[in-house]
Amino acid sequence: MVRIGGFLAGLAFVSALLVAFLMPRDAAVVTAAHEFHREPKEISYSFDNPVWGKYDRQQLQRGFQVYKEVCSACHSMKLVAFRDLEEIGFTKPEVKAIAKQWSTEVPTINDKTGEPTTRKALPSDYFPSPFANETAARAGNNNALPPDLSTIAKSREGGAHYIHSLVTGYADQAGYKNEEGEELLKKFPDAKTPPGLHFNPYFANLNIAMPPPLAAEGQVTYADGTKATIDQMGTDVAAFLMWAAEPKLENRHRTGIAVFLFLLIATMLAYGSYQTIWRDKKH
């Protein structure tokens, strides 16, 4: 009896898997995402070299400006403090001014009344979230939760290249083709982007809740006079987010070079010692 029950339970489980596998709508969506998804664009960054790579401070400052003026309205960076900006070339007075002028104030407690309140940010504060909590964040973004960007460049395959491709890669779904020239909506009519979402071939399932963040050239005015094209802004903000996710990259590279040189010298000394000690022992 137990064997029969086990057999029937197994049969039901296998049948459920088979039905789920053969569902045409789900299969079409997965296939569309697989066939029309694009890999990140290959662009050149100064920090890409695994040995000599280093950050371009001017680029990082431009990227911070893009984050501040475009991204910070929705995305937090709760692991980055204002004083960390000194590492990318800002002076202490500049950091103090940036913190004081930040659009979102820091939540705190009133010493006199004990009631929750807010205050201007200090260099020691971390970048404040633009929303009070997750509920408020979802309410302001069509129920989508904007991810924290502190480590986004390390938590997404492709890193800075993926971020650059994503923020600059929005496209018109109508007439969009794959490398073979096939049109997405002609091959997969059910794959049309739902209302409230936006088509982006660099996103995993092709449809993303975030509207195009870089909508037009000149969206920011760079302090160093660099022309703010969409590609330039995407390149710069991706570099800044890479620094935020791995601020010690240059130190790691320097340490690696020092260790390599130490091991090389130690190997040469060890070989020289071996030759000296065993020179008269060989037969």
In this prediction, residue 254 has a pLDDT band, given cuts at 50, 70 and 90, of confident
Residue 283 pLDDT exceeds 60: no
3-state secondary structure of 269: helix
The reported pLDDT for the residue numbered 239 is 97
Spatial distance between the Cα atoms of 278 and 34, rounded to a whole number of angstroms: 63
Cβ atoms 66, 220 nearer than 8 A: yes
- Domain ranges across the chain: 249-278
* Tens of pLDDT, residues 94-141: 999 999 999 889 988 888 888 888 889 999 999 999 999 999 999 999
* Tens of pLDDT, residues 150-208: 999 999 999 999 999 999 999 999 889 888 888 898 888 888 999 999 999 999 999 99
Identify the CA nearest to 243 among candidates 161, 158, 154, 165: 154
pTM of the model: 0.82
The reported pLDDT for the residue numbered 27 is 44
Radius of gyration of the chain (CA): 27
- Average the pLDDT over each of 18-32, 163-177, 208-222 and give the range with the smallest value: 18-32
The reported pLDDT for the residue numbered 197 is 94
